[in-house]
Chains A and B, each alone.
Chain A
Amino acid sequence: MAKAKRLPRLLLVDDEERILSALRRSLRREGYEIRTARSVPEALAVLDSEEIDLILSDHMMPGMTGLELLAEAKRRQPGAARLLISGWSQAVAESELEALGIRCLIAKPWEDAALKQQLREALAWSAAGTEARHTFGSRAR
């Protein structure tokens, strides 16, 4: 079944507005549709309202951590790639990331080119995953 081809949709979450602004700035010409959220509830509202291909979330946020948000995101949209970004050194154990299927932990400050590369790879992975699920789904029918 042919699906309307759309731009990959990214959800960026950070309680720091300037970070979102800088991320949006550097991804402007990457060809993404970008959504932003400044808190966990805002992010969950976006997840409930539309399909997201990749979530890039800050870790330390008031109320809930980025890790907790990504765990919730895994339940609500398992197909979306999950990435964590943090300025808090050694805040998250490797095993926790693996358990949640989080592709990588990006440290602030980040390298622009490396970030773009990581996003592209993560999207390729999630697209492949989606493809696989669709294939599997059609065969089951």
Chain B
Amino acid sequence: MDWNSQSSRIVVLRDAADGRRSEALEILSGRGGGAVIDLVSDLASCRARCASVAVDLLVLESGLRPIAGEPIEALAAIGPPLVVLLREADAAGALEVTRRGASDCVQVGIDAEGRLPLVVQEQARHGQRDRAHEAAERRIVELEDYTENIIQHMNSALVVVNAEGAITQANATAEEVLGAAAGSLLGGLVDDWFDPEGGEPSLIARTLDEGVSWKGEETVVRRSDGALVPVGISCAPMTNREGQRSGAVAVFQDLTEVKQLELQVLQSEKMASIGKLAAGVAHEINNPTGFIHANLHQMNEYLTDLRGVWKLTAELSSTVTRGDFAAAQSVAGELEALSRELDIDFVYSDFAKAVQESREGSERIRHIVQDLRDFSYRDSGERVDADINECVDSTASIVWTMMKHSVVLEKEYGELPEICCYPMQLKQVFMNLLVNAYQSIEARAKETEPGTIWVRTRIAEGGVEIEIEDTGEGISPENLGRIFDPFFTTKEVGVGTGLGLSTSYSIVERHAGQISVTSEVGRGTCFRVWLPERAPAPEPADG
């Protein structure tokens, strides 16, 4: 490789006061080719040149004498290799030259003609190699900074673990989510965070053991303050050049806020359904309140009647005690007349009847309020084993208050195993489906026949199936595909939120179940919800 062809950059430093031609320039330019040679006469210009362009080599023509008062060590310290041209008069030898920081030297008049180009070539090559190396090193540092910057500032938490499950890298977000002090995660076992109870192997542990990946799974981590935090996690195994598993990388997000928002949507959607029910419930409460109220008023009058009879009875008793027979006879006559006038036998029996009926009424109110209160509860956030028939039935009994005037409700409950679920959320699904069924019956053209809603439950394929079928107006084929979309509604503004069915869909999905619908315009609609008996464990993302 001819160094000249590489357009090396050489700076020749000479003493301007010298007045002579530059020997180095002469020798080197005589070789022809692409080397760029700059002549400078002081250290400051030399430094400036080296700072502005990539210089491969410095050549010092003026021997080892200080240049403008600065020693040649200063020149050597600039960076590029330094070659010194020694004159015969220079007493110092090659050893002295290298001791003072130069890379090489040539003796003018002895071997400069032949050796200078060779030395220059070699040193320039060194210089280039050094610069390339430096550039590569700089680039590596830059890339490291760059990736470190991304990792530290990304919005997701990231941890990298080695094959033993020890954390080798964790970003600031990971420390924040786990509530760990800066730098304290490194070296710790990842399972201390992701599997604090030591129960089922954590998703990361399974990635290390089985090499499986996870995508957007939900799991829980225990923060350093002991709080359990829901996180969404994606995790993949890492392999080294030999193809062996060397660890895993996991990215996760704190879902606390998402979960709270989800709950809020659920709760507000539920409150919207309750709003629809309110009028029906008011009616249902006003009926018993109406007759209890009237009965109380009447019982008060009965009490007045009885008080009158009691007064005479007491008087009768006192006349008998006194032995005043005539007075007793007269009071007895009054008593009989009053009893006849008031129809006191009827008053007695009807008083008892009014008490009994009022008691039934208040019991009915208590039930309605109880049902409503049960329905407005939130789930505790933990799955529990629940009786689906009970969930369906208690929901149907609330909705029934609003629909009983226009709907016949047919219940066909099968015997079901208990289901591990969020019962309040499922009740909301049933509520949405029942209210929809009712509204769709109400929306039919006016008919004298009441509509029918069938509520059926049965065991089906490793779980249970709940079917809610109505004889309502039905859903058109073009709408049928969109009914589970958020905010899709065919109801008037203010009647439907457009979130009922999409909420129902996501609740069923959360239970790893399925919801499906068949409908015919003018005939009715049938919704089927299938729920597995046990929610399955998450499935790895890769096949």
Contacts and interface: CB of A to CB of B under 8 A. Distances in A.
Given A87-B282, A88-B283, A112-B294, A60 B288 contact: no
B196 interface: no
B287 A16 contact: yes
Contact of A108 (B290, B295, B360, B448): B290
B279 interface: yes
A41 to B, nearest CB: 11
A106 to B, nearest CB: 10
Nearest to A112: B297
Contacts of B224: none
Interface residues of B, number: 28
B448 A63 contact: yes
Interface string A88-108: 110000000000000000011
A4 interface: no
Contacts of A19: 287, 290-291
A62 B354 CA distance: 26
A111 to B, nearest CB: 8
Interface in B279-301: 279, 282-295, 297-298
B308 interface: no
A118 interface: no
Contacts of B295: 22, 25
A117 interface: no
Contact of A87 (B286, B350, B357): B286
Given A22-B294, A62-B406, A63-B448, A108 B357 contact: no
B405 A61 contact: yes
B404 interface: yes
Interface in B450-507: 450
B368 to A, nearest CB: 12
A18 B294 CA distance: 10
Interface string B336-356: 000000000000001001100
Contacts of B513: none
B294 A26 contact: yes
B306 to A, nearest CB: 15
Contacts of B354: 22, 25
Interface string A17-51: 01101110110000000000000000000000000
A87 to B, nearest CB: 3
A87 B290 contact: yes
Contacts of B290: 19, 22, 87, 108-110
Given A18-B288, A21-B291, A25-B350, A60 B283 contact: yes
Size bracket of the A interface: 20 to 34
A67 to B, nearest CB: 13
A62 B405 contact: yes
B490 to A, nearest CB: 24
A61 to B, nearest CB: 7
Contacts of A26: 294, 297-298
A50 to B, nearest CB: 25
A120 B262 CA distance: 58
Contacts of A16: 287, 291
A109 B450 contact: no
Contacts of B361: 18
A25 B305 CA distance: 14
Given A16-B287, A18-B357, A23 B405 contact: no
Tell which of B283, B290, B350 has the most Cβ of chain A within 10 Å: B290
A22 B299 CA distance: 11
B287 A108 contact: yes
B450 A87 contact: no
A110 B448 CA distance: 30
Contacts of B288: 18
A26 B298 CA distance: 6
Contacts of B286: 87-88, 107-109
Central interface residue in A21, A22, A23, by most chain B CB within 10 Å: A22
A112 B298 contact: yes
B82 to A, nearest CB: 100
Nearest to B294: A22
Nearest to A60: B405
A112 B297 CA distance: 7
Contact of B279 (A63, A88, A107, A110): A88
Nearest to A113: B297
B454 to A, nearest CB: 18
Contacts of A87: 282-287, 289-290
B283 A18 contact: no
A23 B279 contact: no
Interface in B406-458: 406, 448, 450
Nearest to B364: A18
Given A22-B357, A109-B294, 8 more contacts: A19-B290, A25-B350, A60-B405, A62-B405, A86-B283, A87-B287, A108-B286, A109-B286
15 contacts: A21-B291, A21-B353, A22-B357, A25-B294, A63-B450, A87-B286, A87-B290, A89-B279, A89-B282, A108-B290, A109-B290, A109-B294, A112-B293, A112-B297, A112-B298
Interface of A: 16, 18-19, 21-23, 25-26, 60-63, 86-89, 107-110, 112
